Amino acid sequence: MRAAVLLVFVLCAGACSSARPAADSERAVAKAVRMGTASLSFENEPAKYSAILTPNAQVEMAFRVSGYVVDLYQSKGADGRLRPLEAGAPVTVGTILARIRPSDYQAIFDKARGAQEEADAGVAVAKAQLAQAEAGRNQAELDFARVSALWEQQSITKQAYDASKAKLEIATAAVQGANAAIEAANKRRDAAQAQTREAQIALGDTEMRAPFGGIVLERRAELGMLAAAGSTAFTLADLETLKARFNVPDFALVGFRPGLPLDLEIDAFPGLRVRGRVLSVAAAADPKARSFEIEVSIPNVELKLRSGMIATVHAEAGAPARRRLQVPASALVHDPTGQSYLVYTIELNGGHAVAKGIPVEPGPLAGNDVVVLSGLAPGQRIVVMGANLLQPGDLVEEVE
């Protein structure tokens, strides 16, 4: 009897344990989600793009040589006093913005010029020695010609003939040596001239001149400071013409071409509209944004516009109406494991509604929606709210 009771207890325990997962699954809480559909939209209205204004040209001017700053270009400030250039000050092309103490480089230049003059004198001496050697060789040739004639007539001794021949050979070698000396002197002169030009360039680089007329964006140089070679002293920008840069999706490229006029509204000046022209259209898309950059040139005659301002570009539709599939941005979920994106739909599994992930390829934003390039069909039902809380296989409950 005791064994029978033990068997019944074991069977009951097994039955209870087998029933527990079912009870747990029944007690699992379904996540509330709201459903929607992937819809089609038509791009056939004038588009607006946000652009940032940048200078037509901007350079960071740096000293090529190091030294102490002894002079800065000055202009009248708002108080009427002369002050070094500050941000916003206009300058003309060729203006000397700053000077480094030139005496150090003047000494180097004078030394190089003295070496060049010495090398020039060396060339002159070598040429005089060549002339002397050629004269000696000519005389030796004449003497040897007379001795040779006497030698043929057997009127002189062999010793006299050999002495005249040796004298001619020595004179010829002297001419060759003089030519080699001239060549070496010319090379020394060329090296000295190169050093003089280099010293002259360094002396000229003690003055920093504006390469074009523009506006000073920043000044870092101060009187008395020791400026290192390559250190930025001024940032200069050409603001008479500005560039507006903005990005467009691939399907909008057909509406842009170089030379196309575009209207821009400047956000900082409500109601101000300027006319610009397309300078360039990017040949390749930005790999991250998957969009193409457009550059527009706009005039800035009164220098009212500044670099960094925001403008709104009004672009007329350049292509017939194009259908595109889009979903609410809240439906798109980033999958960090696969570095991809997906949306969720609902499917039945064992009589329960569960979440199912659908990989998609997103496109650009369109307001609060995201364009979907692939992965979905028009009218397909998807989770539009609560998707970011889901995992594949989660129990879900649709709510209104």
Query: What are 235-278's pLDDT values in tens digits?
Result: 999 999 999 999 988 878 888 899 999 999 999 998 889 999 99
Q: Are residues 215 and 193 in the same domain?
A: no
State residue 249's pLDDT score: 84
Residue 229 has pLDDT above 90, yes or no: yes
pTM of the predicted model as reported, rounded to 2 decimal places: 0.54
Q: Which helix (H) or strand (E) holds 182?
A: helix 158-204
| Domain assignment of residue 376, yes or no | yes
Segments of 165-222 assigned E as strands: 207-209, 214-219
- Cα–Cα distance measured from residue 70 to residue 16, given in angstroms and rounded to the nearest whole number: 95
Q: Tell me: do 227 and 284 sit in the same domain.
A: no
Bridge partners, 355 (sequence order): 346
Tens digits of residue pLDDT in 308-360: 999 999 876 444 456 788 899 899 898 877 678 889 999 998 888 999 989 99
303 and 327 part of one domain: no
Does 214 lie in the same domain as 80?
yes
Domains contained in the chain, number:
4
Q: Is residue 10 part of a domain?
A: no
Q: Which helix (H) or strand (E) holds 292?
A: strand 292-299
Length of the chain (residues): 400
Residue 276: give the domain boundaries: 47-53+238-321
Pairing label, strands 396-398, 31-37: parallel
User: Are residues 193 and 123 part of one domain?
Assistant: yes
pLDDT over 70 for what percent of the chain? 89
pLDDT in tens, 96-152: 999 999 999 999 999 999 999 999 999 999 999 999 999 999 999 999 999 999 988
Q: Kindly state whether residues 118 and 200 are assigned to the same domain.
A: yes
Which helix (H) or strand (E) element contains residue 130? helix 103-152
- Asked if residue 366 has pLDDT above 90, the reply is no
| Average pLDDT for the chain | 85
Highest-pLDDT range among 10-14, 207-211, 268-272: 207-211
* 252: three-class secondary structure by DSSP: helix
User: For position 191, what pLDDT does the model report?
Assistant: 95
The answer to whether position 274 is within a domain reads yes
